[in-house]
Amino acid sequence: MTAHQPLRILHCFRSPVGGIFRHVRDLAEEHAKAGHQVGILCDSTTGGAYEDALFESIMPHLALGLTRLPIRRSLGLSDITSALKSFGEVKNLQPDVLHGHGAKGGAFVRLIGSRLRVSRSCVARFYSPHGGSLHYDEKTIRGQAYFAIERFLERWTDALVFVSDYERQAYEAKIGTPRAPWQLIHNGLRAHEFDPVNNTPDAVDFLYIGMMRDLKGPDVFIEAIRRAEQLAGRPLHGVMVGDGDDKPRYQARLNAIGMGDRVKMRDAMPAREAFALARTVVIPSRAESMPYIVLEAVAAGKPVISTRVGGIPEILGPDFAGFVAPGETEALAGAMAHAISDPQWLPDAMPEMEAFRDNFSAQTMADRMSSLYREHLDAQMRDNPKLKPSSLS
């Protein structure tokens, strides 16, 4: 395969929301611009109007189309039906590359890709955990079961792709030292995302943006802004942007503590639109891998307060002044009050922009990924010259 031969790339993941969806969209767009043919296979039961609009925007880059079918979050018998349906769809697309994201996407592409290899198709199988199974506790029966499955599937994996060194360390700690080859490729942003975002005239003090579930910390944000008011000695205002099943519970809590008029709930919207609504972005997550929202906030020139979890120190630096411990309401409230009393504290602590731009470019991310794809396809062809990638057929 030549260095410039277009590839047929299919990404598979379960839920078309959050960071995984963003990661795949960026790869799809960059690879399509480079001349590759790209497709997506994902769940049909999650997402809403916002995600539908995102699919519509990415469709011009999906030469292999969009395939959606029901894929449940938890393991179940329905996975067998979904896998069988997926196999037929994938076989018809004749991909060179199957890239699974998250536990379910990773399982699907490795099972399907291995079945295609049995039928003498040349297809490379890649898996990016993106948290997924790694969020489980290794001391629980469920966690041990998921980790055992992950270990078993390594034998059908051409390469693991980690988006943060934290993710690699978590994989090694919970599953074991990878037996398959692996590579670290950080997430990246598109060029326009490095343009500064200006605040609206009525911008509030703090923004929470993300999924409305406790794992991401909106409950901590609510309690912390209430406590920060007491520490700052004045009313504070916030906005919470995102969707999720727990959103009514958070609204009820805001109302119960008398903050429903000062902290407004908004539906999911593009991050850069949300950034303009507040002066400081708060990331109170209990667990993360390599969150795009932190990358986007830094690139947009927004000051950030964040928990020190996952790969976030790889973005902000290990000694970033705005770090707080996850789940610690008092610590987060103290940082929020500090940002109010000393407006230059956080802006002065943010990463240097030129170095940040060099490290987190979407084009760099996509180039490294396509090079990895080619490396393993070439290895297959060397090991078995009778095989030929679909892109050469």
Query: To 10 degrees, the CA torsion angle through 133, 167, 220, 278?
Result: -120
The whole-number pLDDT of residue 390 equals: 62
- Selection from 153, 133, 129 nearest residue 144 by Cα: 133
Residue 389 pLDDT > 70: no
Residue 1 pLDDT > 60: no
- Selection from 177, 123, 124, 169 nearest residue 150 by Cα: 177
Residue 27 pLDDT > 50: yes
Out of 140-144, 191-195, 202-206, 352-356, pick the least confident.
140-144
All domains of the chain, ordered by start, with CATH? 8-188+361-392 (3.40.50.2000), 192-355 (3.40.50.2000)
Residue 74 pLDDT > 70: no
Task: Label residues 40-78 b or e (16+ Cβ within 10 Å = b).
Answer: bbbbeebbeeebeebbeebeebbbbeebeeebeeeeeee
Q: pLDDT higher for 50 or 171?
A: 171
The whole-number pLDDT of residue 49 equals: 86
Residue 372 pLDDT > 80: yes
Dist CA 316 CA 308 (whole Å): 10
The whole-number pLDDT of residue 152 equals: 92
pLDDT per position as a tens digit, 105-141:
998 899 889 888 877 778 999 999 987 777 778 888 8
Cα atoms found within 13 Å of the Cα of residue 366, Cβ hemisphere only: 22
* Residue % of the chain over a pLDDT of 90: 71
Concatenating the DSSP letter of every residue in 235-270 gives ---EEEE---TTHHHHHHHHHHTT-TTTEEEE----
Q: pLDDT higher for 11 or 122?
A: 11
The whole-number pLDDT of residue 45 equals: 87
**194: which DSSP letter?**
G
Show the tokens assigned to 141.
């029966």
Dist CA 218 CA 11 (whole Å): 30
**Residue type (1 letter), 216:** K
pLDDT per position as a tens digit, 223-241:
999 999 999 999 999 999 9
The whole-number pLDDT of residue 222 equals: 98
pTM > 0.75: yes or no = yes
Show the tokens assigned to 283.
């990331």
Mean pLDDT confidence for 93-114? 91
The whole-number pLDDT of residue 393 equals: 47
The whole-number pLDDT of residue 137 equals: 80
pLDDT per position as a tens digit, 246-299:
999 999 999 999 999 999 999 999 999 999 999 999 999 998 878 889 999 999
pLDDT per position as a tens digit, 324-342:
999 999 999 999 999 999 9
Mean pLDDT confidence for 178-206? 96
* Residue % of the chain over a pLDDT of 70: 93
Phi/psi at 266 (nearest 5 deg)? -130, 150
**Residue type (1 letter), 64:** L
For 166, residues 6+ apart whose C-beta sits below 8 A from its C-beta are 289, 290, 310, 311, 313, 314
H helical segments located in the chain: 18-33, 49-58, 78-93, 102-118, 141-153, 165-174, 218-232, 247-256, 271-275, 292-299, 312-316, 329-341, 345-349, 353-359, 362-383
Task: Label residues 272-307 b or e (16+ Cβ within 10 Å = b).
Answer: bebbebbbbbbbbbbebbbbbbbbbbbbbebbbbbb
Q: Which contacts qualify for 174-181: CB closer than 8 Å, 24 or more apart?
A: 174/133, 174/134, 174/136, 174/138, 174/143, 174/147, 175/133, 175/134, 175/147, 175/150, 175/151, 176/151, 178/154, 179/154, 179/155, 180/154, 180/155, 181/376
Out of 81-90, 144-153, 245-254, pick the least confident.
81-90
How many other β-carbons are positioned within 10 Å of the β-carbon of residue 186?
A: 19
Residues pairing with 284 in the sheet: none
